[in-house]
Structure 1
Amino acid sequence: MKLQVEQAALADGARWIGRHIPPSAAAPNALAVLLTAEGDSLTVAYSSMDVSASVTVDAHVLSAGKAAVSGKIFADILASLPPLQIEFTGDDNGVEMVAGTNTFHLGLIDTDSYPTLPKMPAISGAVAGDLFAAAIASVAPAVDYATSAMPELGGIRIQPDGNRLQIMATDRYRVAVQHIPWAQTGEAVPALIPGKALVDIAKTADGSDTVELALTAGSGGIHVDERTTITRLLPVAKFPQADRAFPKEFSATLTCDAEELTDTIRRIGLLLEGHQAIELAMTGDHMTVQALRNTKATGKARIDCRLEGADAFDVAFNPRYLLDGLAPINGEVAIDLTTRIRPALIHAAVNEPTYQYLVVPVRDPAATP
C-alpha cells in the first residue's frame, strides 16, 4: 500500500471514527481501524458487534492495499500533524506515515481476522442535515444512558409517519419528541437506535445538505456525505409507549419568553443543592420563580407571563429537566398544565409545534394535588 492524502480531511474523519472505538478491549482487533487504499480514495473503517463506521477521503493511490492499525493512536497522530500532505507506505512490517519532517511507524494488526464490514442496508429515505442534527440534539437529554434494567431507554426511536419522521426519547420522567420532514424512497420501519451512537453521528450532519437513513428490521444505517454508520438496533417493541403519556386535556397554559425563563431558572438554581426543585408560582400576568423549600438560602425572581385557564397555578420541577426542555425553543414558550403532580407539556407557543417535551413535576409533600 502506498498513497498520498491531505492531513485535514483524514484527521477529521479519523477523529470521528475514533469516537466509536471503546477505551479498552480484550482483543486487539476491537481497537483497530482498517485502512483500505484503492482507486482514488482511502477508506478508514471500524467494526464491532454493535456498530460499524467508515469514512472515505480523496487520495492519490500509487499502490492499493489494506492494513489494520490501532485506531486511537492513528487518530491521535493525525490530529497532531501539521496541515500537510501525508505519505503512507504499508508493507508486512507496518505502516509508515510521513508529513514534512514528521515520521511515524505503526505496527500491524492481523487483517485476516478483522471483522467483516457490513454492507449499508437499502436506503429508506432522506432528511435535511441541519434538521436531523437539531432534532437528535433536542431529544438527546431524555435518553437514559445509565439504565441496565431497561436498556431500551438508552435508545432514540425514529418512526416514519407519512412525510414526517417522529424522533423520540424517554427516561420515564420526561419524553422528548421532535417531528421533521423527510422524503421516503424505500421500505421504512420504526427503529430504536442506541442513543450514544446516534448523537455522535448526528453531530456530523449539521453542515451537510442531506442525511440518508436506512430503517430496516435488521439494522439501522446512516449515510452523511462520505461517512457511513451501520448500527445494531434495540428491540423497538420494548420501548415504552410514551405516546400514551401525553394528556389529552389541560387545565391551564402558561406562556412567557423562553430565554427569560431559562435565565431566571439558572439564577435561582444557584440556590439549589442535591435534588432540590424549582417552583413556578403563576398568576394571570406574572410568575415567581423560587427554590422549593430551601432552608439554607432564599431568593426569588418575577417575570411577565400569561396564565390562561386558571387564576393561579403552582408547580415544581427538577431544574435540569426544565432547562433541557426549554433549550430547543426560541421566542415564546407554552407550558400546558394539568395538576401539580401530573405531567406538563412544554412546546413553542405556536400552532402545531414540531417539538414537544413532556415532564413530570416534583411533588411537594406539603401541597395538595
Structure 2
Amino acid sequence: MDLTITTAQLAAAAADVVRLVPGKLVDPVLGGLLLTADARGVVLAANDRERTARISCDALVHTEGQVLVPAKPLAETLRALDQPQVRLVVEGARLAIRAEGARFALPLLDVDLHPGVTEPPAPSGSVSATVFASALSTVATTAARDEALPIFTGVRVRSEGDKLVLRATDRYRMAIATIPWTPGPSTIDALIPATLLAEIGKQVVGDVWIGVDANRLSLAWEDMVVTTAVLDGTYLSESKLALSDFDTHVEADADALAGATRRVALYTDARGVISLEVGDSEVRLRTADRQTGEAEESVKATIDGGRTSPSYQARYLIDALRPFAGRRIQLAIQPGMRATVVTAVEGGEVDLRYIIMPMLPPKTG
C-alpha cells in the first residue's frame, strides 16, 4: 500500500474512529486500525466485536492494498504533525508515515486475524444531526456510569411515528427527549451504550441515518458509519413511574435557580442534599450542616398549588436545570417521596423532560 493524503484530513478521521472504537487493550488486533486503499481513496475502519466504525477519505493512491496497524499510535502521530501532506507506504513489516523532513514507522499487525467491518443494517429513518446532538448532550449524560449495572448505562432509542424518543436513567433521575424523526420502512427500539452516543453527539453533522436489525444498530452521516451491539431496553420507560399526582407547579428562571443551587450547595452535608421550600412568590433553597455551616437563597417564582419542601441532591438538580439555560422552567412537584418533573415553559425542537427523585431532607442542628 502506498498513498498520499492531506495530513489534517487523515488525522481527524483517525481520531474520530479511535474515539468511537477505543479498542481492546488485551487484544492488539482489536485495537488496530484497518486501512484499505483503492482507486476511490482510503477507508479507515475499526472493530472490537461490539462496535465498529468506518470512514472514507479522499487520497491519491499510488498502490492499492490493506494493512492493520496500532490505532492510537497512528492517530497520535498524525495529530502531532504540522506538515500539510503525509505519505503512508508499506516498507517490509512496517507502515512508514512520511512527511517532509520526518519518517515514523508502525509495526504491521496480522490483517487476517481482524474481523473486518460488515455492512450495516439498512436505514430505518433519519434525524437532524443538530437536534440529535442537542438531545444526546442531556440524555446520554443521565445514564449510569457503573459498568456493574450495564442495563443502566445505555440510552433507549425508540421511534414513535414521526418522533424519535431518547430515554436514559441511572435509577435516581431520568431524561426523556423527543425530537422530529423522518420515518423509513421499519421502527427502532434499542438500548445503545450511552458513552458511544455521547461521542457520536460530538461528531455528527448534516443528517443522521439510523438503522437496526436483530442485534445491531447503525448510525451514518457524511462519510462515517458506526454500528453497535444492542440490548433489550424495553424495561426503560417512564410509565413505571407515578407521574400524575402533581399538587404544586413552580415556574422560575432556570439560570437564576441553577446559580442559587450551586451557591447553596457549597454548604451541604456529605450527601449533598438541599431543600427547596416553596412559598407564595418565591422558592427558598436551604441547607445546613454542623461541619460546613448553613446557607439559604431565594429565587422569585410563580407558584400554582400548595406549599411544599422537597429535598434533592444538589448535583442532580443542577444537571436537570443545565439543558434549560436561558429559559424559564416549570417544576411539577408531587407529594411525598415521588418524582419531580422539570420541563421548559416554552417548547423547542427538543421536547425535554427531566425527572428527578427527591431525597430525605438534610439534617439540621
SS in 2 for 1:275: coil
Match of 1:159 in 2: 158
1:123-202 residue pairs with structure 2 within 5 A? 123-148=123-148, 150-202=149-201
Structure 1 position 252 matched with structure 2 position 248? yes
CA distance in 1, matches of 2:242, 2:354: 10
**In the TM superposition, what is the alpha-carbon distance from 1:364 to its structure 2 partner?**
2.5
CA distance in 1, matches of 2:225, 2:112: 22
SS in 1 for 2:112: coil
Match of 2:96 in 1: 96
SS in 2 for 1:18: helix
Letter in 1 for 2:211: A
2:276 is matched with which residue: 273, 277, 280?
280
Structure 1 position 314 matched with structure 2 position 309? yes
Q: Per-residue CA shift, 1:216-235, capped at 9, x if unaligned? A: 33200001211111000012
Instruction: From the superposition, tell whether residues 3 and 240 of structure 1 become closer, same or farther in structure 2 (CA, over 3 Å).
Output: same
The TM-score with structure 1 as length reference comes to 0.93
CA distance in 2, matches of 1:246, 1:163: 26
**In the TM superposition, what is the alpha-carbon distance from 1:365 to its structure 2 partner?**
7.9
Letter in 1 for 2:223: E
- Larger mean Cα displacement after TM superposition, 23-32 or 9-18: 23-32
Structure 1 position 242 matched with structure 2 position 243? no
Decide whether the 8 Å contact of 1:187 with 1:216 is kept in 2.
no
CA distance in 1, matches of 2:269, 2:42: 52
Instruction: From the superposition, tell whether residues 70 and 351 of structure 1 become closer, same or farther in structure 2 (CA, over 3 Å).
Output: closer
Structure 2, unmatched stretches of 5+, are none
Aligned length: 362
**In the TM superposition, what is the alpha-carbon distance from 1:308 to its structure 2 partner?**
0.5
SS in 1 for 2:215: coil
CA distance in 1, matches of 2:269, 2:74: 43
Instruction: From the superposition, tell whether residues 129 and 351 of structure 1 become closer, same or farther in structure 2 (CA, over 3 Å).
Output: closer
Root-mean-square deviation (Å): 1.9
CA distance in 2, matches of 1:188, 1:42: 33
Instruction: From the superposition, tell whether residues 82 and 64 of structure 1 become closer, same or farther in structure 2 (CA, over 3 Å).
Output: same
Structure 1 position 335 matched with structure 2 position 334? no
CA distance in 2, matches of 1:110, 1:355: 47
Decide whether the 8 Å contact of 2:21 with 2:52 is kept in 1.
no
Match of 2:8 in 1: 8
SS in 2 for 1:74: helix
Decide whether the 8 Å contact of 1:166 with 1:180 is kept in 2.
yes
Match of 2:202 in 1: 203
Q: Per-residue CA shift, 1:295-332, capped at 9, x if unaligned? A: 5311211111111011x221110111111111111310
The TM-score with structure 2 as length reference comes to 0.94
Q: Per-residue CA shift, 1:137-165, capped at 9, x if unaligned? A: 111232012042x4211110000010000
Match of 2:120 in 1: 120
SS in 2 for 1:127: strand
**In the TM superposition, what is the alpha-carbon distance from 1:335 to its structure 2 partner?**
0.3
CA distance in 1, matches of 2:361, 2:78: 54
CA distance in 2, matches of 1:61, 1:174: 51
CA distance in 2, matches of 1:341, 1:267: 25
CA distance in 1, matches of 2:120, 2:24: 27
CA distance in 2, matches of 1:114, 1:273: 52
Match of 2:361 in 1: 364
SS in 2 for 1:236: coil
Structure 1 position 212 matched with structure 2 position 191? no
Letter in 1 for 2:330: A
1:267 is matched with which residue: 237, 258, 263?
263
CA distance in 2, matches of 1:303, 1:202: 33
SS in 2 for 1:69: strand
Letter in 2 for 1:133: A
- Larger mean Cα displacement after TM superposition, 341-350 or 239-248: 239-248
Match of 1:303 in 2: 299
**In the TM superposition, what is the alpha-carbon distance from 1:83 to its structure 2 partner?**
4.5
Decide whether the 8 Å contact of 1:279 with 1:292 is kept in 2.
no
Letter in 1 for 2:345: A
Decide whether the 8 Å contact of 1:316 with 1:340 is kept in 2.
no
- Where in structure 1 do 4 or more consecutive aligned residues deviate above 6 Å? none
CA distance in 2, matches of 1:351, 1:269: 29
Letter in 2 for 1:270: L
Instruction: From the superposition, tell whether residues 356 and 302 of structure 1 become closer, same or farther in structure 2 (CA, over 3 Å).
Output: same
Decide whether the 8 Å contact of 2:39 with 2:61 is kept in 1.
yes
Match of 2:48 in 1: 48
Identity of aligned residues (%): 25
CA distance in 2, matches of 1:366, 1:46: 52
Match of 1:70 in 2: 70
**In the TM superposition, what is the alpha-carbon distance from 1:292 to its structure 2 partner?**
4.9
CA distance in 1, matches of 2:289, 2:310: 13
Letter in 1 for 2:161: G
CA distance in 1, matches of 2:323, 2:310: 22
SS in 2 for 1:19: helix
2:222 is matched with which residue: 207, 222, 225?
225
**In the TM superposition, what is the alpha-carbon distance from 1:35 to its structure 2 partner?**
0.6
Instruction: From the superposition, tell whether residues 95 and 302 of structure 1 become closer, same or farther in structure 2 (CA, over 3 Å).
Output: same
Decide whether the 8 Å contact of 1:4 with 1:88 is kept in 2.
yes
CA distance in 1, matches of 2:63, 2:26: 33
